[in-house]
Structure 1
Amino acid sequence: MRLTIIALSLALSACSLVPDLVKPGLPVPDAYPSPAPIADGEAAADLDWRTMFGDPRLQRLIELALLNNRDLRLAALNVEAVQAQYNIQRAARLPAISATGGVTRQRTAADNRVDPATPGRLQTQHSLDMGISAFEIDLFGRVRSLSEAAFARYLASEEGQRSAQIALIGTVADSYFAERLAQEQLDLAHRTLADWRQSLDLARRLKAADQNSALDVAQAEGQVATAEADLEGRARTLARATNALTLLVGKALPDDLPSPWPLDGNAVRTRLPAGLPSDLLTRRPDIRQAEHNLVAANANIGAARAAFFPRLSLTTSLGYSSPALGNLFDRDQRVWSFAPQITQPLFMGGQLQAELRLAEIRKSEAVAEYERAIQTAFREVADGLAGSATYSRQIEAQNRTVASAERRVELSTLRYRAGLEGRLEVLDAQRQLYAARQTQLDLKRDEIGNAVSLYKALGGGAPSAIE
């Protein structure tokens, strides 16, 4: 009998009031505004981060961050929490069967009105039963809709963890290259300060020999003081960059890290195939996360609709009850109960209608978030492609600027020593060369940062499965 009831319950659970999910069209153009550079090899989303970042020092730092970063750890714990919530909701679709055993002893008071000599009686009752308590027979799919929504949220949390890993890898790379830029700019500041101190020493010797004026010495001293101030600023920037990198890694940076590559040492692939905007739907975890959230919101509408209809619940039990433990399992001591109950909402003060309206609004929000995720991804890729198309030419032009500034310093120094120009021209040429070299480093760092951003925008760095 119990098997028949369970089978009937499962059969009645086939009804569903979840609306058909129609995903919105792609809210972006079919192609990116900037053509992708020609790049051979696999798609960026399939490119392992170890292949993307060739610097062994950076690879080691990313490995440490994946093991120790607290944000990524919280994302993994969130997946486990949502999975547990889904398991709880899924369990509601099956009857919960429990066994209960007990003994009751009670003493009844004497009834003096009947017989004053009759004492109170001591009664004992043993029982053992097994049954189902308030199991909802899912006639209109309410419980199943809630279970489907919970499962979609679980899938969304998995995609959220993948997004967290992509973000972490990209942020570690950005912070690492920011540190490398700060270190190389600090080294350049050290070399420049050493050169300008030599020039100051030369100016002082010439002044002592009455071959120049005190103005030349004052100009050289001002230039050295400027370089010393800039050196302190570069050292502060390096310290802050190192602190940020340490926070991302989640522990103190070890002393046995490999030697770093220079910024111009091909530490990053800067040419990546972009594909089509439609590829982002399957490549970007944040878009897939928004899609699962949309599925969950749509399932919640089905649950809200089902709340308007009757709710059938079942309580049943089968067992034994006897005043004597020795004959508890005798055939004549068997007991059973069967108590179905149906509940139909009649007046809820508009609560059910408001809950349905809220579910529909939540779905509209999920649609908007899904479209926004696609548009954001499209813009990030388009920005990355625009950078890929221009940074190489800009850096090439800046390299020519540095070469021209170096030539100017060389010629100005020769003319100054020959007495054809004043000290001011040499100092101006040196300042321009220093600024051009700093800009050269900034541009190379920006090109690397653009490549890292494009790699993230295309979905690179995500694990194939939750680790």
Structure 2
Amino acid sequence: MRLLILPLVLALSACSLTPALVKPVLPVPATFPAADSPATRGDAADLGWRTMFGDRRLQRLIELALANNRDLRLAALNVEAVQAEYGVQRAARLPGIDATGSATRQRTAANTRAIPAMPAATQDQYSVNVGLNAFEIDLFGRVRSLSDAAFARYLASDHGRRAAQISLVGAVADAYFAERLAQEQQQLAQHTLADWRQSLDLARRLKEANQNSGLDVAQAEGQVASAEADLEARTRALAQARNALRLLVGTELLTNLPAPLSLEEQPVVTQLPAGLPSDLLFRRPDILQAEQNLVAANSDIGAARAAFFPRVSLTTSLGFASPAMSGLFDGPHRVWAFAPQITLPLFRGGRLRSELRLAEVRKSSAIAGYERAIQAAFREVADGLAGRSTFGRQIEAQTRAVSSAERRVRLSSLRYRAGVEGRLELLDSQRQLYAIQQALLDLRRGEFSNAVALYKALGGGLMEKDLAPDPIPLGSEREELSGTANDGSRS
């Protein structure tokens, strides 16, 4: 009969005081502004980063960053630490069985006043035991709630690592485009400075031939000085962009990288499908992280509620005890102990109620964080869609403006050489062309930055290669405890 006590007690520990988790309604509209038509619906998260970014040099930099970036490495180590914490908490749900062995030898003092007198004696005691030590029987689900909370925090940390990878891939791409922009702007500044120096040389020769005044020379000298200052600024921006890229990659930039492509030649997918806001709930790791934090906070409420009820612990042992080692394991020396204990909190000074209130407030905070994550994701996608629909037309218009400015410079140069108009008109046309060309480069980089931001906002960047849509059923994360890859990719 005694053998049935422990299984019966363990079976009674299925009770749980954790409240049912009700997720809040999506605090965003059902569709994105400027959403795709049904015929073009898709999921950008299924697009591998090698497809998204076709530049082989950029692909190699992303590979190096995924292998060497310290922030991503810290995120992975944090996942391992939280997983270990979950293992510790989960172990509390199972009885800990210990084996102990002891040997005692003691001498008792003589008692000469006793009748008859008791001489001094030496006693030996040997024992071997196997048993449980203060195992808590989880009648009200306190230990289970703590275990569930630890598991949810493990999942949240893993989603945080995935979010860190998405951010890293996007940051490397954005820093690479910033470096490409800085280099092309430096090259444009160098080319413009060379042209303006030739123009200054022409002004000086015309001055020596008494065909213009010193004002033209002064204007040309000021223009060259301005270009020289701008070139230094572009050189500084290029060095800083490369430093930022080196930090993200996590290692020194290799010299054998593939040749870079210009901004105009970059094979970046800029027309990404957005899908529906509800797709973000299982595509965005930061939203999944906020959701698991909400699950953990809800489980903490169950543990805080269970603390109001009696706590039952069990200590048992089975073994042998004998005054002689030779007969330790004989039948008559068998011993056992069964010591259940129940603890009922009577007065804690309001501590238990405060802990319950704290758990409830943290759950409310987790709900607000979950809703905020959804709203932020919706805003990021909406911003990306706004850029997607306007950057192309803006770049086309800016390209026409560059062509017009180039024609103006050619005509002004011809008119100046023919003496039809003064140098002021030529200088103005040259400055305008330079500014418009720099703005066009900024726009090209802005289009790629917008594409990167939209790709990140839609949950892209976890996979190296394209993946056919394969929605993960809700509630299947617990079975994936041991199957999460370091790079977040699936094949």
Alpha-carbon distance between aligned partners in 1 of 2:204 and 2:145, rounded to the nearest angstrom? 86
Aligned with 1:340: secondary structure?
A: strand
**Where does residue 394 of structure 1 map in the other structure?**
394
Alpha-carbon distance between aligned partners in 1 of 2:117 and 2:347, rounded to the nearest angstrom? 58
What value does the CA root-mean-square deviation take over the aligned residues? 1.5
Alpha-carbon distance between aligned partners in 1 of 2:62 and 2:5, rounded to the nearest angstrom? 56
Aligned with 2:264: secondary structure?
A: coil
Aligned with 2:28: secondary structure?
A: coil
Aligned residues: 467
**Where does residue 34 of structure 1 map in the other structure?**
34
**Where does residue 201 of structure 1 map in the other structure?**
201
**Where does residue 311 of structure 1 map in the other structure?**
311
**Where does residue 419 of structure 1 map in the other structure?**
419
State the shift of 1:266 in Å. Answer: 3.1
- Paired AA for residue 86 in structure 2: Y
**Where does residue 102 of structure 2 map in the other structure?**
102
- Paired AA for residue 466 in structure 1: A
Superposition pairs of residues 67-216 of structure 1, within 5 angstroms: 67-114=67-114, 119-216=119-216
**Where does residue 436 of structure 1 map in the other structure?**
436
Alpha-carbon distance between aligned partners in 1 of 2:421 and 2:433, rounded to the nearest angstrom? 18
C-alpha contact 1:37 1:271 (8 A) present in aligned 2: no
State the shift of 1:119 in Å. Answer: 4.0
1:153-207 residue CA offsets vs partner (Å, 9 max, x unmatched): 1111110010000000011111111000000000000100010011111111111
**Where does residue 281 of structure 1 map in the other structure?**
281
Structure 1 residue runs without a partner (length 5+): none
Alpha-carbon distance between aligned partners in 2 of 1:460 and 1:10, rounded to the nearest angstrom? 45
- Paired AA for residue 69 in structure 2: N
C-alpha contact 2:35 2:275 (8 A) present in aligned 1: no
- Paired AA for residue 132 in structure 1: L
Alpha-carbon distance between aligned partners in 1 of 2:119 and 2:163, rounded to the nearest angstrom? 77
State the shift of 1:114 in Å. Answer: 2.5
Alpha-carbon distance between aligned partners in 2 of 1:366 and 1:462, rounded to the nearest angstrom? 25
C-alpha contact 1:57 1:258 (8 A) present in aligned 2: yes
State the shift of 1:112 in Å. Answer: 2.3
Alpha-carbon distance between aligned partners in 1 of 2:381 and 2:415, rounded to the nearest angstrom? 51
Alpha-carbon distance between aligned partners in 2 of 1:184 and 1:310, rounded to the nearest angstrom? 72
- Paired AA for residue 228 in structure 1: E
1:247-302 residue CA offsets vs partner (Å, 9 max, x unmatched): 11111101101111110113311100000111111110100111111111111111
State the shift of 1:6 in Å. Answer: 3.3
Alpha-carbon distance between aligned partners in 1 of 2:298 and 2:40, rounded to the nearest angstrom? 41
Aligned with 1:270: secondary structure?
A: coil
Alpha-carbon distance between aligned partners in 1 of 2:31 and 2:151, rounded to the nearest angstrom? 34
State the shift of 1:456 in Å. Answer: 0.1
C-alpha contact 1:304 1:352 (8 A) present in aligned 2: yes
Aligned with 2:253: secondary structure?
A: coil
- Paired AA for residue 206 in structure 1: L
Aligned with 1:60: secondary structure?
A: helix
Indicate yes or no: 2:22 matched with 1:22. Answer: yes
Structure 2 residue runs without a partner (length 5+): 468-483, 487-491
C-alpha contact 1:103 1:127 (8 A) present in aligned 2: yes
- CA change 1:2–1:428 in 2 (3 A) is farther
Aligned with 1:325: secondary structure?
A: coil
C-alpha contact 1:159 1:288 (8 A) present in aligned 2: yes
C-alpha contact 1:37 1:273 (8 A) present in aligned 2: no
State the shift of 1:70 in Å. Answer: 0.5
Alpha-carbon distance between aligned partners in 1 of 2:22 and 2:117, rounded to the nearest angstrom? 82
- Paired AA for residue 283 in structure 1: R
Alpha-carbon distance between aligned partners in 2 of 1:272 and 1:357, rounded to the nearest angstrom? 45
Alpha-carbon distance between aligned partners in 1 of 2:121 and 2:441, rounded to the nearest angstrom? 98
- Paired AA for residue 197 in structure 1: R
Alpha-carbon distance between aligned partners in 2 of 1:322 and 1:130, rounded to the nearest angstrom? 16
Alpha-carbon distance between aligned partners in 2 of 1:66 and 1:38, rounded to the nearest angstrom? 35
Alpha-carbon distance between aligned partners in 2 of 1:226 and 1:122, rounded to the nearest angstrom? 103
TM-score by length of 1: 0.98
1:99-128 residue CA offsets vs partner (Å, 9 max, x unmatched): 000100111111122379754211111100
- Paired AA for residue 238 in structure 2: L
**Where does residue 362 of structure 1 map in the other structure?**
362
- CA change 1:298–1:397 in 2 (3 A) is same
Aligned with 1:13: secondary structure?
A: helix
**Where does residue 296 of structure 2 map in the other structure?**
296
1:356-393 residue CA offsets vs partner (Å, 9 max, x unmatched): 11111111011000000000000000000000011111
State the shift of 1:4 in Å. Answer: 2.8
- Paired AA for residue 290 in structure 1: A
- Paired AA for residue 87 in structure 1: G
Alpha-carbon distance between aligned partners in 2 of 1:446 and 1:3, rounded to the nearest angstrom? 73
Alpha-carbon distance between aligned partners in 1 of 2:372 and 2:389, rounded to the nearest angstrom? 26
- CA change 1:86–1:382 in 2 (3 A) is same
Superposition pairs of residues 327-342 of structure 1, within 5 angstroms: 327-342=327-342
State the shift of 1:42 in Å. Answer: 5.1
- Paired AA for residue 94 in structure 2: L
**Where does residue 223 of structure 1 map in the other structure?**
223
- Paired AA for residue 80 in structure 1: E
TM-score by length of 2: 0.93
Alpha-carbon distance between aligned partners in 2 of 1:466 and 1:308, rounded to the nearest angstrom? 41
1:69-126 residue CA offsets vs partner (Å, 9 max, x unmatched): 0100000001001100100010000100000001001111111223797542111111
